[in-house]
Amino acid sequence: MNYKKILKIVEKNNGYITTNEVVSNGIERRFLTNMVRKGDLVRISKGYYGLPNYIEDEYYKIASKSKNVIFSMATALYLHNLSDRNPLIYNVTLPFGYNGSLQKEKNVIINYVNRNILDLGAIEMISPFGMKIKVYDIERTICDIIKNKNKIDGEIFSKALKEYARSNNKNLSKLTKYAKIMKIEKKVSDYMEVLL
């Protein structure tokens, strides 16, 4: 019965499951261990499992390490098609005070923010492998890269701003609202004046 429950969750998750999902569904962790021993699942990393023929979804793997993970900066630009550079290093934003396993990940760069702006512009998206992840919307991402210009590649920065300025989907009132909240209104308006 528990094996079937686990496999149902794995199927719903496009081939993945986390220990947290198992526990929150009232299943004991030992069933995961037994399924790994039998070869029904593969342990990809601590708390993260997949079917034996899995293609690793790095986005989901990172997101499964903290409920507060929001993909940001260059990674969000890629997910919004404002950059063509497939991330090898993933940018995420977490609240100040976070003290978890993502700090030890070599392929993750963490941007820390106050909790009062953590969820500003956070949306749900589907990863390239079909899993739900949290990402900042385009306007929040534009504000973030302007605020943290020294932390992003110059070519990616310029291309993203030009693409955003040309986009029919831009929302300048939302961009201005976010810029005010993040206290970077002048910087954002200076860049937009040049580009628009």
Domain boundaries, the chain: 2-56, 60-195
Tell me what the mean pLDDT of segment 152-178 comes to.
93
How much is the pLDDT for 100?
Answer: 85
How much is the pLDDT for 129?
Answer: 81
| Packed helices 138-147 and 154-166: angle between N→C axes, nearest 10 degrees | 140
Structural tokens at position 11: 């199927």
Does residue 98 surpass a pLDDT of 80? yes
| Packed helices 185-195 and 172-181: angle between N→C axes, nearest 10 degrees | 150
By C-alpha distance, which of 93, 100, 175, 95 is closest to 134?
93
What is the second-level CATH architecture of the domain 2-56?
Orthogonal Bundle (1.10)
Tell me what the mean pLDDT of segment 188-192 comes to.
90
Tell me what the mean pLDDT of segment 128-144 comes to.
93
Q: Of 32-36, 41-45, 186-190, which range is least confident? A: 41-45
Give 188-194's long-range contacts (Cβ < 8 A, gap of 24+): 188/142, 188/143, 188/146, 191/146, 191/161, 192/165
pTM summary value: 0.82
How much is the pLDDT for 18?
Answer: 85
Does residue 131 surpass a pLDDT of 70? yes
3-state secondary structure 4-42: HHHHHHHHHCCCEEEHHHHHHCCCCCHHHHHHHHHCCCE
Q: pLDDT over 90 for what percent of the chain? A: 53
Tell me what the mean pLDDT of segment 89-113 comes to.
93
The angle subtended at Cα 184 by Cα 123 and Cα 100, nearest 5°, is 50
Tell me what the mean pLDDT of segment 48-66 comes to.
84
Instruction: Label residue 196 by pLDDT band (50, 70, 90).
Output: low
